């Protein structure tokens, strides 16, 4: 068995059945992705639209492609035809642009809203007032026809401080629960990466994004 399939199987065995695993394959060659595919993995996460589109063209068509990175607005159109879920929607402007292209392609595009939970300034995400503005748009604007917002996503601070990570994930779970009360469509809470997914699952994550623990360091 290859190291990639071994890693994948070990992680899958440790997961609760209601947690979905995204194999984050950014920067990795198609041959590595195919090893994961042959071991049964069907959901892959990429952070650059061009790289994802090239891999989508080359690989089997029963794969779900998730855009997990910061979205480059001018390239959205390339992924609309096939992308399964966009994790990193972090502005109303971006959501409106996705909606516009969804209308053009006659597709309803699944999205998550990225909430800012980390201390680092460098991490993208919405604060609470921006989140509320978007929720208002989804609910009350008749032109929001071609987006399907199904949950939230967040990234914790990159730190060894487990308690801080736990606090940040707990905060996101609180925001998620509050949001879900008014938006029953919200079913997905995407949080947890290689270094912190166990904590994320304890805090209520339903979708984890794992790269280096499957494919090795980048
Ligand atoms: C790269 C990346 C991951 C995976 O990171 P690992 O630490 O390699 O598991 C998860 N989420 C996002 C948004 C990423 O950019």
Tens-digit pLDDT profile for residues 101-155: 999 999 999 999 999 999 887 678 999 999 999 999 999 999 999 999 999 999 9
Ligand 1 in reach of 195 Cβ (< 6 A): yes
187-206 average pLDDT score: 98
Q: Whose CA is nearest to atom 15 of ligand 1?
A: 69
Ligand 1 centroid from CA 72, angstroms? 17
Q: What's the pLDDT at 124?
A: 83
- Please state the atom number of ligand 1 nearest to the C-alpha of residue 153: 13
- pLDDT one-digit tens code per residue, 58-114: 999 999 999 999 998 999 999 999 999 999 999 999 999 999 999 999 999 999 999
CATH 3.10.20.30 for the 3-215 domain, yes or no: no
Ligand 1 in reach of 8 Cβ (< 6 A): no
pTM: 0.96
Ligand 1 centroid from CA 37, angstroms? 19
Task: Round the average pLDDT of the chain to a whole number and report it.
Answer: 96
The DSSP output letter for 191 is -
């Amino acid at each position: 068995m290859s190291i990639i399939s071994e890693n994948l199987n070990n992680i899958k065995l440790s997961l609760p059945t209601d947690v979905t695993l995204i194999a984050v394959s950014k920067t990795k060659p198609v041959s590595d992705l195919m090893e994961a595919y042959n071991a049964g993995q069907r959901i892959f996460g990429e952070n650059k639209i061009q790289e994802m589109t090239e891999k989508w063209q080359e690989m089997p068509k029963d794969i779900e492609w998730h855009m997990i990175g910061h979205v480059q607005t001018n390239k959205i159109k390339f992924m609309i035809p096939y992308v399964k879920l966009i994790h990193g929607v972090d502005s109303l402007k971006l959501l409106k642009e996705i909606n516009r292209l969804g209308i053009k392609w006659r597709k309803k595009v699944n999205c998550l809203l990225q909430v800012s939970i980390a201390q680092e300034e460098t991490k993208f995400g919405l604060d609470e007032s921006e989140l509320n503005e978007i929720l208002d748009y989804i609910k009350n604007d008749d032109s929001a026809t071609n987006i399907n917002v199904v949950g939230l996503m967040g990234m914790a601070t990159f730190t060894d401080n487990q308690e801080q990570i736990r606090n940040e994930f707990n905060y996101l779970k609180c925001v998620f629960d509050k949001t879900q009360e008014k938006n029953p469509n919200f079913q997905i809470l995407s949080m947890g990466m290689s270094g912190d997914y166990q904590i994320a699952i304890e805090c209520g994550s339903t979708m984890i994004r794992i790269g280096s623990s499957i494919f090795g360091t980048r």
